[in-house]
Copies of this chain bind each other. A is one copy, B any other.
């Protein structure tokens, strides 16, 4: 397939460049340089290669496009291609409540696959999108029915390649031989600090070859459309390696300041924009001008996309006739529905069942539900034996040539790459048809904080299996013991942080994580064994908080989470022996509890007696649910875990004595004790 230029090419490219300049100038904020430089590549890619239907941005077999260096280019393209983004939307760029916020957000703007802007994330998402395609293709395609065969195209800049998250994802992508992944690297030699010479002088070609990528170079990305075309075509030809096309461009091409960081992050001046338009043969006095030839050219592209979707729909129907079972399953997974009664496989526990670590309880859940939920696709950042995430009998997701597994395999070996793993999981979730899970120690979820917040902002269903979740990990010590991690994740909007106390709560956490289609979940799990509690059930735990041990006319309520709930119950028993009636509330998920009715919440954390919180982490945040807080005053300690708990006074007997102090204090204080949930507004 060789490149055939048409008249509309130059016009279209000029339109993208000037429209990007206008959009940024009107907002008086944004980054004009990169869109202007990347316009030729964007035009060649969308006019000649991308299979997508702007009239149905959710067509499952569409090619995925990720603008990792998120900027106005995405909006300009979506508008020209005919997605649900009007010229008025472009004019509202970076204005309140517009469809065109500062950086593209998935779920907010039609046609945006993943949220980008924070550098490096989009690159990682792209690897995830490509993994999802490879996995679903291997799972569902049949001879003559290549239903899942799209490419993932990622545009990125210098900044993305400097970020470690991209390095991690790139190394894994090379290992996985993702021939369906094509990255176009905008090598314009400029970043915010000026010439990349000041900090970024590595040999990018050699680096990507070291990862096992195909590396192609386009010397003149400003005007040589044929070379751009040929590079993308060659990238598509290479089936066993991801490709990076190093496209040498001039940032802000056409501006008087082209090639300098003056065009990176601030609007062009009015006279510069006028000169630019004149130079490219567009009317200098018109803003937001799109020649009809450009609209027409992209309308043809959209028509091609719609035809491709129609063709695909026929293929899907034929597939259904030949493979009704697989068809039903694929359709279900695309729609995001869950199989009927899957939840019946969730384990249920009685208090007489033996004590088990919640990481092990998690393994028991995964083992139980995996047969019912083939959409579970995930793995660990090189802690499989500690996170207990590999269900026996599952196959590794590996390139067949390695002899270690297949693309149909459901278990991913991420390597020690937490941040890359998080960004990849976002990409997998964005692809659809899959529920990704990832795993590491809770403490090292912090390494991936850049990705977890974007899961939450984008509404990606990603499940983090975060084990070794407190000083209860014992010997590894303070370097591995989270203190601040739980409140960090609890304070993240739209993220469900579950810290289950026993078997039933672990089942509840999974039920919630599996059914929350627009919310990521972090399951915080213990290394040490936990008893199964008398008062726990899956149903109660699903409220996010409930009374696990009830008393009437109590003197005290202890509210706790995870591995400390059983210690609270122990303390309550000791207090009862001394005549102090103590309720215990388990609060495994604040995010879920906060969504319950006020009436329910006030019945759990009720007025009338003081509430003491207990958790072997920072107390920060517990003040919302309690009058008094017991937790860790600083870092943890290395030693057998029971001794570490003793050192910090997190034992039944010490908490009982703390509880007594609380009761006495409130007695002396006098007056009614009002629930901390009773608020003025």
What B residues does A447 contact at CB under 8 A?
Answer: 118, 163, 165, 419, 449-450
Within 8 Å of chain B (Cβ to Cβ): is A193?
Answer: yes
**What are 25 A-B interface contacts by the 8 Å CB criterion?**
A29-B475, A96-B638, A97-B637, A102-B476, A117-B476, A118-B447, A162-B382, A162-B415, A162-B416, A163-B164, A164-B166, A174-B201, A175-B201, A192-B386, A193-B380, A199-B415, A207-B207, A419-B419, A449-B488, A487-B620, A487-B621, A493-B618, A493-B635, A494-B635, A661-B681
Q: Does A211 contact B (CB under 8 A)?
A: yes
Taking a contact as CB atoms under 8 Å apart, the answer to whether B200 and A211 are in contact is: no
Is A643 interfacial (CB 8 A cutoff)? yes
A669 lies within 8 A of B679 (CB): no
Question: Is there an interface contact between B382 and A159, defined as CB atoms closer than 8 Å?
Answer: yes
7 nearest interchain CB pairs? A164-B164, A623-B623, A96-B639, A101-B638, A102-B477, A199-B415, A665-B680
- Is the beta-carbon distance between B398 and A198 smaller than 8 angstroms? yes
Which of B475, B480, B493 is in CB contact (< 8 Å) with A27? B475
* Chain A interface residue bracket vs B: 35 or more
In this assembly, does A119 line the interface, its C-beta being within 8 Å of a C-beta of chain B?
Answer: yes
Could you tell me the distance between the alpha carbons of A623 and B671 in the complex, rounded to whole angstroms? 21
- Which of A480, A492, A672 is most buried by chain B, counting CB atoms within 10 A of its CB? A492
Give the chain B neighbours of A334 by CB distance below 8 A. Answer: none
Chain B residue with Cβ nearest A643: B96
* Residues in A lying within 8 Å of B, measured CB to CB: 27, 29-30, 70, 94-98, 101-103, 105, 115-120, 158-160, 162-168, 171-172, 174-175, 191-193, 197-207, 209-212, 265, 380, 382-386, 396, 398, 402, 404, 413-420, 443-444, 446-447, 449-450, 453-454, 457, 474-480, 483-484, 487-494, 610, 618, 620-621, 623-624, 627-628, 633-635, 637-640, 643-644, 647, 658, 661-662, 664-666, 669, 671-672, 674, 676, 679-681
Q: Please, how many angstroms separate the alpha-carbon atoms of A637 and B114 in the complex?
A: 17
Residues of chain B contacted by A159 (CB below 8 angstroms) = 382, 416
Chain B: minimal CB distance from A577 (Å): 21
Which residues from B are CB-within-8-Å of A398? 198
Complex contacts, A665 vs chain B, CB 8 Å: 679-681
Given contacts A95-B639, A417-B164, A628-B680, contact A476 B103 (CB under 8 A): yes
A478→B402 CA distance, assembly (Å): 41
Knowing A105-B478, A446-B449, A662-B681 touch, does A174 contact B193 (C-beta < 8 A)? no
Distance in angstroms between the alpha carbons of A617 and B446 in the assembled complex: 19
CB <8 Å contact, A453 and B457 = no
Closest to A662 in B: B680
Return chain B residues, CB-CB under 8 Å to A203: 209-212
Q: A359–B634 Cα gap in the complex (Å)?
A: 30
Assembled-state Cα–Cα distance A96/B175 (Å): 41
Q: Is the CB of B479 within 8 A of A30?
A: no
